[in-house]
Structure 1
Amino acid sequence: MITRRMFLASSATFAVSACSSKFKTYTGPVVTRVQVFKGQRAMQLLHHNTQLAAYKFELGFAPEGHKAFYGDGRTPEGAYRINRQNPNSRYHLSLGISYPNADDIAYARSLGREPGGDIFIHGTPRLFAGQTDWTYGCIAVSDDEMEDIYAMVRVGTPIFIYA
């Protein structure tokens, strides 16, 4: 039999866990562009020409240069789109980047290699917190920052990644 005390305790636990959801709500201006400046480790979320938010991040273990093929540890450079949201990412939350495009595929194949893929903006597991450039080509922010970015950026948003 459920006592009143057990009911109140379980209700309180549920209420607290509901408040700690990793899914935030964003009601501000639409993010129309994401800009990533690899050299400065700076990412900007923009509404047209107005900056809405800015974040520092970590990159792949070989941060210099454009991603050429699978396993090179580089982050792509160029114009892409956010092409998916992953609420079940092993890196908290993640937003997919549309790498590789046709040019990326052609270049990698000209080298006799595969271009790779699965490039994301994602959170940072505790294991890698405080480490520099530890991903395999992704853009890593803190989990708290990723919650904000995930709420703000929609599938289809252009992302421009600069050296």
Structure 2
Amino acid sequence: MRYRVVAILLIVLALGAGAYFADTRLPAMLAAELPKAEAVLVIKGERKLYLMRDGQPYREYRIALGGDPAGHKREEVDQRTPEGDYLLDWRNPKSAFHLSLHVSYPNENDQAQAEARGVSPGGMIMVHGQKNGLGWLGGLLQRWDWTDGCIAVTNVEMEEIWRAVPDGTPIRIEP
């Protein structure tokens, strides 16, 4: 019994240390330095995000989307990721998810369509890493759609994207 308790404590400590290093130091050490992106392209059906330069992709990432990703976001609670042309207009270094870049959804058209239906279009759509404290599960979490409509990548990938994508970068989200 005593050895079982010690073993459980060691496992908990190891997982805690893994979460600490995965969420803080390790991504900064492993993320590649990339040229600045001129645009970002997301193809929802492929579950891919591409950094673009001179009209060509130069880096790609596997993404997780909202829990009901098919179709354009129509209202706040639909768990869809919007489709269309937007900007990555500001960043949050203290996000609840490892770094985040804001997608300028809703635009005027999105807002007008939601108002015509009498619903809120939602907002706060972000490109972000894993939930803080869970970065060590990044590869596993990327295997299914788990966000509320955001675009999620692993923490290491988010470190790269964070440095390569300046504020004001266009993002196109395709079906």
- Runs of 4+ aligned residues of structure 1 deviating over 3 Å after TM superposition are 21-29
Find the partner of 1:20 among 17, 25, 50.
Answer: 25
Q: 1:144 and 1:22, CA in 2 relative to 1: closer, same or farther beyond 3 A? A: closer
TM-score w.r.t. structure 2 length?
0.76
- Output the CA distance in 2 between the equivalents of 1:52 and 1:81: 19
Over residues 61-110 of structure 1, what are the superposed CA-to-partner deviations in whole Å (9 max), with x where a residue is unaligned? Answer: 11100000111100000000001111001101010000000000011111
Q: 1:103 and 1:113, CA in 2 relative to 1: closer, same or farther beyond 3 A? A: same
For 1:46-61, what aligned pairs fall within 5 Å after superposition?
A: 46-61=52-67
Q: 1:27 and 1:135, CA in 2 relative to 1: closer, same or farther beyond 3 A? A: closer
Instruction: Determine the structure 1 residue equivalent to 2:12.
Output: none
For the aligned residue pairs, the C-alpha RMSD in angstroms reads: 2.2
Instruction: Determine the structure 2 residue equivalent to 1:140.
Output: 152
Instruction: Tell me if structure 1 keeps the 8 A contact 2:92–2:99.
Output: yes
Q: Does 1:158 align with 2:170?
A: yes
Kindly state the Cα deviation for residue 26 of structure 1 after the two structures are TM-superposed.
Answer: 7.4
- Output the CA distance in 2 between the equivalents of 1:20 and 1:29: 22
Q: Which amino acid aligns with 1:158?
A: P
Find the partner of 2:37 among 13, 16, 31.
Answer: 31
- Output the CA distance in 2 between the equivalents of 1:50 and 1:39: 19
Give 5+ residue unaligned stretches, structure 1.
1-18
- Output the CA distance in 1 between the equivalents of 2:123 and 2:157: 23
Instruction: Determine the structure 1 residue equivalent to 2:14.
Output: none
Identity %: 41
Find the partner of 2:79 among 55, 73, 91.
Answer: 73
Kindly state the Cα deviation for residue 48 of structure 1 after the two structures are TM-superposed.
Answer: 1.7
Give 5+ residue unaligned stretches, structure 2.
1-23
Structure showing greater Rg:
1
SS of residue paired to 1:103: helix
- Output the CA distance in 1 between the equivalents of 2:35 and 2:98: 25
SS of residue paired to 1:114: coil
Instruction: Determine the structure 1 residue equivalent to 2:107.
Output: 101
- Output the CA distance in 2 between the equivalents of 1:31 and 1:107: 31
TM-score w.r.t. structure 1 length?
0.82
Number of equivalent positions: 145
Instruction: Determine the structure 2 residue equivalent to 1:6.
Output: none
Q: Does 1:83 align with 2:89?
A: yes
